[in-house]
Structures are given as C-alpha cells and as structure tokens.
Amino acid sequence: MAAQAAPVAITGLGVIGATGRGVAAMDAALQQGRDGVGPLTLWQSPLDFPVGEYRGPRLEAYLPAPELLPRMSRSDMLALVASHEALQQAGLAAPALSKARAGAYMGQSVCGTLTSEAVYIGAKESAAAGDTGKRSYAGLLVHEGANTLDLMAKTFGLPGPTLNFLTACSSAANAIGLAAEVIRSGRSEVMLAGGADSLSNIVFNGFCSLKVVSPDGPRPFDRQRQGMMVGEGAGVLVLESLAHAKARDANVLALLTGYGHSCDAHHLTAPHPQGRGAIEAMIGALAQAGLGAPDIGYINAHGTATRDNDDVEAKAIAHVFGDRTPVSSTKRFFGHTLAAAGGVEAVVSVRALQLGELPQNLGTQDPEPGIDLVVQPRQTAVTHVLSNSFGFGGNNAALIFSRSE
C-alpha cells in the first residue's frame, strides 16, 4: 500500500492528436462531440479501418527547433509540439529550466518505427528493381525512443534526468507518476512528463491482425461494441514542486496527488478477468493521495472499446467505487494513442477539473450496466479525478488529479 505523498503542481499542458493541435482544439472537440474517426492517409493500406490520425497543418510548421528536423521521426515531432505548448503555458524557458535541473520522463512504444519502415520499404523496392547503388540509412538513427528525449533536452535545455517508459498502454501514466517522484526526491524542481506515439504500419496491421479493431470506430462501454481504433498523438504535463511554483508565482492548474501501478502478468494481451491488477492500481493511487473512493468525482477510463478491456475495467471500477462515480472514455475522440494514452488523458482529466465539465463517452448507444456512464457532457464541479491506463502484459497505472485551491 502506497503512503500518502506530497502533491506536485501541474503548471502546463500540451496535447496534439486527432482533435487537432493544442488544448483549445481538444476542448472544442470534446464540447462539440466531434470525434476523431477518419481514414488512414499516412500511407496506402488494403485494410479499410479508421484511425485517430492528426490531420492538421504539417507538424514541421510548429516545431520549436526546425533545424533539428532531419533528426526527427513523426513521434519526435508530436512530442516536441506538445512539450512546447506545455512549457509556454507554464512560462518556463531554457535558463529557468536549467536552474531547476529540469528533466523529462516520456512514455513511448512506436518511437521512430514509421521512419524505419520507410527505410526498409525503400531498400526492399530498390533491391527488387535491381538497384545496387548506395542507399542512406540515416532514418534508422531516429528509431529509438531515446531520440525523443535527446531532442527534448537539446531543444528546451533540460539538464536533469531523462527516461523512456515502455509499459505498453500505461507508459505515459507511469512516466507522469514517476516524474512526480523525481520532484518529491529533490533531484529536480521541474519535469516534463507524458507520452508520444505516431501511427505506423506494424502497429496498425498488428492490431488489425488481432481482430480487435472496429470498422466504424470505437464505442466504449457499449454492449454492442466491436473494438478499438488505433490513434496517434502526444500529451505532456509540466510538473513542479509546489515550492518552486509558488516562488515564481506560477499559475497552478491542478495537483498530481496520487499514483498507483501494478503488474498482474496474467496474459500477454488479455487483462486479468477479475481486474485484479486494475483494482490494485486504483487503490494504490487512492492511498498515495490520502483519499477514499467517495472523494473521486470522475473517472477517465482506459475504455478501449474492446470486449475484454471494457468488461474487466467496468468490474474493477465497480469493485472499488460502486456505481455512483461518473465514468467516461475519450477513445473515440483520439483513438487509442498507445503509449501516449495516459498523457493525452491526463490533459483531459486536468481540463475536466478546471472547466467543471465531464467529457462524454462518445459513440455509446447501448451502455453497459453497472457504471454511471457520462453519455452527454455533464456540467459538475469535481475536486478529484482519477485516470486509468491499462497495458498489455498486465501493466496497470492510475493517476489522481486534484483541484489546486
């Protein structure tokens, strides 16, 4: 059982994905009920399944360090754009970040795979055509997730700890929860934390081969749901010690008060049928925050819209919270952004606290019984929000965000 921990301030938010670039675009999509379901355009595929693709202006136009573009994958660009927005809101730049020993913890899984795939496909096509000339394999240099951290450190002037997390779909949530521990330990006063992942052939084809992708987009917690939708995006928070935030008179948007993690290791892809690991993660987050189940006013569910995930998560939520805590999944807005999901949904959760509006569980027409599903945007002031992120291999994480007043 986790011991109650000191809260950590959140002073900046950045997000990009199928809802567009930035928090304002995300807010508008959630309020208007505008989903992110659309065709795949990054490459041609014989598989006709929708994706949650970023479809705005070219990412290159928003990069804070365009001179580094030759070293960037699409995942790198998503991470940098979201991080730049978060730092701008926090009012932090290189000199202050250096003084605060700022670092970055990021969740990733796809990393530079989209670029690596292009290198491989190009080499294969050249070989088939009998081309024996030299080829550039420089694109392979951006394959690793460490490339994202290197670019973030160079671009923003981060001298502190940097670390990638690859715990599947709980990666970004773990990055955020453990970045807070870095701040509590005194090693850094400021941390960028979240996740970023782009679409790629191997991920899209892989989930399609598992037969868990819906032909018409996800319908989380719907009794007739057909599956998930693969997405891409990035969500990044600026975390600070409360003392550091107060000393510079920063606007504290919310507090990170609780984090719980577990690994039930039940199956490579399937969750534990009774939600054992999910329950442990949520209870751990409540304990670290010093809260009880009745204190949570909203749960942002992992809610992938696959048959097993939603069934197990609903059981786990009912076990810990009963049926009185409002729940919704925002996967139809973004798709499942994989390792970035916990970062994107952390931004959603903080905005729910700030705006007093719970995002709707878009796409659901026949709700599963046993949970209080938010089927329309709900205006209600809440003090504490819990966000779930559950990944392959039984890796489960839960975060609690609280009002700063």
Catalytic positions? 169, 302, 336
Residue type, 75: S
Q: What is the number of alpha carbons within 13 Å of residue 35 lying toward its C-beta?
A: 24
Spatial distance between the Cα atoms of 19 and 335, rounded to a whole number of angstroms: 10
Phi and psi, residue 107, nearest 5°: -95, 130
Spatial distance between the Cα atoms of 307 and 311, rounded to a whole number of angstroms: 6
Spatial distance between the Cα atoms of 190 and 100, rounded to a whole number of angstroms: 6
Match 């995006």 to its residue by tokens. 233
Nearest residue to 198 (alpha-carbon basis) of 370, 314, 79: 79
Residue type, 51: V
Nearest residue to 158 (alpha-carbon basis) of 111, 208, 103, 110: 103
- Residue 16: DSSP 8-state: E
Is residue 132 classed exposed, middle or buried when 0-12, 13-18 and 19+ CB atoms within 10 A define those classes?
A: exposed
Q: Could you tell me how far CA 323 lies from the centroid of its own chain?
A: 26
Which residues pair with residue 21 across a beta bridge? Answer: 16
Q: Both ends of the chain: CA-CA distance in Å?
A: 27
CB 240 within 8 A of CB 183: yes
Angle between helices 276-289 and 307-321 (to 10 degrees): 40
Q: Quick one: CA dihedral 147, 149, 150, 156, positive or negative? A: positive
Q: What is the number of alpha carbons within 13 Å of residue 215 lying toward its C-beta?
A: 3
- Residue 145: DSSP 8-state: T
